[in-house]
Amino acid sequence: MSCTAPFHTVLYGIQLIFCSLILCNECKGQSTVEQWKFMVQERTEKIDFKSFAAHNPNWMVNAAKPSLKTAVPALDQLETSLLPWGENQALVDQCMQALFESNYQCAQIIGVLHGRYGPFIEQALEAASLPNSLQWLAATTTAFNVGFDQDGSAGMWGMNAEVGRKYGLLGVNGIDQRKLPEESTHALVLELERLQRRFPNDPHRVLVAYWKGMAYATRWTGKPGYDDVLDAQLTLLKVLSRFMVNIERPSFELDWIAQAQKWTPLKCDGKGMNRNAIIAEGIVSEQNLTEILPWWYSDFLSCADAQKYGARLPQMIIAAPTESRSPTTQKMESPPATIGQDVLTENAIPCILYTVKKGDTLWNIAQRYPGVTPEKLAKINSISDYIRIGQTLCVPDKK
């Protein structure tokens, strides 16, 4: 059994991430909540989040527990219909533990991403008189990952090909519009409105119809106990949506706007842009190009579409003209510009680059390198909270 990418430009490395979520031995036995927690943590390794974090190093709120709002908003129609999914206390506790773990890391990550996408999602749902809590569908399905690809679904809403075609979002001029946030949100709202007409008094059935199809939603009992996996998904959505609207949390909308202004538009000569030429010229790697512009899957992009959909790159992934692009270099006097996190060295000491893996801590990494301490690693890499899977660390080379 294997995972295959829907488009020829999706790289093996990206395939591996999604294959691992479904197939790897570590994940097969994981619960829905554990898989979600892993997905959220992986979301911080995407280039857009790395670029945001590099320019906003204090995005993590240093508090052991968030405070509740003075005025807690009332339950909307969807939350009310999901009340029975709060009766499984063990499952609710598992969801809450995932949110509070490691200085409520997952909740903070989702909060940062909500700052980027939440405002226009909320407006779209409100204009269609749909429950506001449906906005967290993106948080539970893909962790607001616009480049999401799995089982034929794509974009941050996990939209399947059938729905995409219905609203003209699939394969238009070499662009998978399901991966365009605002366009896909508009299509989502239209689809939810259609499903709401079919199930006018059952907003939770509307949600299930979007996830699993109208036939399934029609025969579904509408109560816990019919499908354990579905019960876990609904409980997670219920807990997350209420948690996020109840707590006091900073807004990152203006930070994302400021970040977007620092991204550089890809140059277009009037005839359009050729993917292979951009890569061959060393402007950006194929993997980075695919990750930052996941909606572009063809070899050619017109200047009009590039401007319309925002073909822009963060400075951290744009190669300098004289940059060495050898991927095998392990030692260097200073860290490369593409690391995605500011790696600091004292007195330009040589670095051995180390990529953080699952289960790593500063302590067990330090044990592998004589003369290196966890405190030294934290200081050199400006780590004040935690390390993330996929993060690149500078380990001082004592040789």
Q: pLDDT by residue (tens digit) across 185-230? A: 999 999 999 999 999 999 999 999 999 999 999 999 999 999 999 9
Tell me: do 3 and 77 sit in the same domain: no
Q: How many domains does the chain have?
A: 4
Q: Are 38 and 301 in contact (CB under 8 A)?
A: no
**pLDDT category, 349, cuts 50, 70, 90?**
low
Q: What is the pLDDT of residues 6-65, one digit of tens each?
A: 333 333 333 333 333 333 444 456 899 999 999 999 999 999 999 999 888 889 888 767
Does the CA dihedral 134-139-140-142 come out positive or negative?
positive
Mean pLDDT of 356-366: 79
Reply yes or no on whether the pLDDT at 251 is more than 60: yes
Tell me: do 26 and 47 sit in the same domain: no
Q: What is the pLDDT of residues 129-155, one digit of tens each?
A: 999 999 999 999 999 999 999 989 999
Task: Tell whether 327 is covered by a domain.
Answer: no
Which residues form the domain of 389?
332-396
Instruction: Measure the CA–CA gap between 39 and 50, rounded to whole angstroms.
Output: 15
Mean pLDDT of 263-276: 88
Task: Tell whether 363 is covered by a domain.
Answer: yes
Note the pLDDT of residue 45.
92
Tell me: do 355 and 232 sit in the same domain: no
Which amino acid appears at position 334 of this protein?
S
Tell me: do 38 and 172 sit in the same domain: yes
Distances (CA, A) of 161 to 142, 152, 352: 16, 6, 44
Tell me: do 104 and 55 sit in the same domain: yes
Instruction: Measure the CA–CA gap between 331 and 207, rounded to whole angstroms.
Output: 51
Tell me: do 148 and 269 sit in the same domain: no
Reply yes or no on whether the pLDDT at 372 is more than 90: no
Tell me: do 240 and 359 sit in the same domain: no
Note the pLDDT of residue 6.
38
**pLDDT category, 78, cuts 50, 70, 90?**
very high
Which amino acid appears at position 142 of this protein?
T
Q: 156 or 267, which is more confident?
A: 156
Does the pTM exceed 0.75? no
